[in-house]
Amino acid sequence: MNITLEETRYPIPNFTEEEAIEKVRKAENAWNTKDPEVVATAYTLNSKWRNRNEFITGRQEIITLLTQKWEKEQHYKLIKELWAVKNNRIAVRFAYEWQDKSGQWFRSYGNENWQFSEKGLMEERYASINDLKIDESERKLLWKDGVRPLDYPSLSDLGL
């Protein structure tokens, strides 16, 4: 994987609703790999992010942020859901569950606004995220590691 190349990622803008749903699922699947380089290649070389209270630019900073994230957030599992789409912009809502090193479980909720380049790479990502402590018995994202199975319920189906 070459993180210095910008390869076209289909679908490309302007997105239909069906294409936006596909783009959201592809992003979810990439994040569930917990591989920072896999995730980073879906973004432009100079992609701009606001992630919680951090502002970063470019793939190398994305890789650094995600490496630190997944060192802290163990047993990470994520579901994303399309909220809205217009032209080259997609809004999503998401929830993910993870466990810290002390054994405490969390569910993190958030919204993201995405803007894409003509090659279908994300050039801007603005994420707002809130963490909620949960008991292990409250977990809802229970599939085995890796991508969410196609027949696993959505956020809406899970009441999240």
- What is the pLDDT, as a whole number, of residue 1? 80
According to the model, what pLDDT value does residue 4 have?
92
pLDDT band for 2, please (50, 70, 90 cuts): confident
Write the Ramachandran bin of 139: left for phi over 0, alpha for psi from -120 to 50, otherwise beta: beta
List Cα–Cα distances, 148 to 15, 117, 151, 152, 160, in angstroms: 23, 27, 8, 7, 16
User: If we measure between CA atoms, which residue out of 18, 16, 9, 72 comes closest to residue 39?
Assistant: 9
DSSP conformational letter for 149: P
The per-residue pLDDT for range 96-145, each reduced to its tens digit, is 999 999 999 999 999 999 999 999 999 999 999 999 999 999 999 999 99
Count CB atoms within 10 A of the CB of residue 125: 19
Question: What is the average pLDDT across 30-44?
Answer: 97
Chain segment 63-95, per-residue pLDDT in tens? 999 999 999 999 999 999 999 999 999 999 999
* pLDDT tens-digit series, residues 9-27: 999 999 999 999 999 999 9
Residue whose C-alpha is closest to residue 152's, from 91, 104, 80, 83: 80
Exposure class string for 140-149: b at 16+ Cβ within 10 A, else e: bbeeeeebbe
